Amino acid sequence: MHPWLSRLRHDLVKRAVWAARDLHEAARDPDAADLAELRRGMFELRDSEGRPITAGELWRRMCTDAPAIGAAALDSFASVLTAAERQVAKLPAHPDAWREAVEAVLRIESAFAALARTLEKE
């Protein structure tokens, strides 16, 4: 796997998706701590030097040193990420919308897989 993708997965995808997968597979409604975990996965990440950063900021920073890859693929990932951020940001005010938020975050995983496939082809 390309080092850039590996970094993206480590710094962003894994952190964001873990809590969503737990929630998706739990046979119960989430409590406040579950939702906080989901939120942290999107808004309390660390960059490669260990500094706090949100998923969106981290992605924008990573785009600056992205390998040669089509803009469409990057845009596609960015739109999925933005949608996930938007859904998770709604949670404090609308905790009932957790299913939509979980689904949105889980889509990051498939968007990442698509990005990896594109990079591999190119």
For residues 9 and 13, what is the distance between their CA atoms, to the nearest angstrom? 5
Q: Which stretch binds another protein (CB under 8 A): 44-52, 72-80, 84-92, 95-103?
A: 44-52
Q: Which stretch binds another protein (CB under 8 A): 27-35, 56-64, 71-79, 80-88?
A: 27-35
90 binds another protein (CB under 8 A): no
- Structural contact between residues 15 and 54, judged by C-beta atoms closer than 8 angstroms: no
CA-wise closest residue to 58 among 14, 100, 93, 23? 14
Task: Please pick, from the candidates 11, 69, 73, 119, the single residue that binds another protein as defined by CB under 8 A.
Answer: 11
For residues 42 and 89, what is the distance between their CA atoms, to the nearest angstrom? 9
- Contact residues for another protein (CB under 8 A)? 1, 3, 6-7, 9-11, 13-15, 17-19, 21-22, 25-28, 33, 37, 41, 46-50, 109
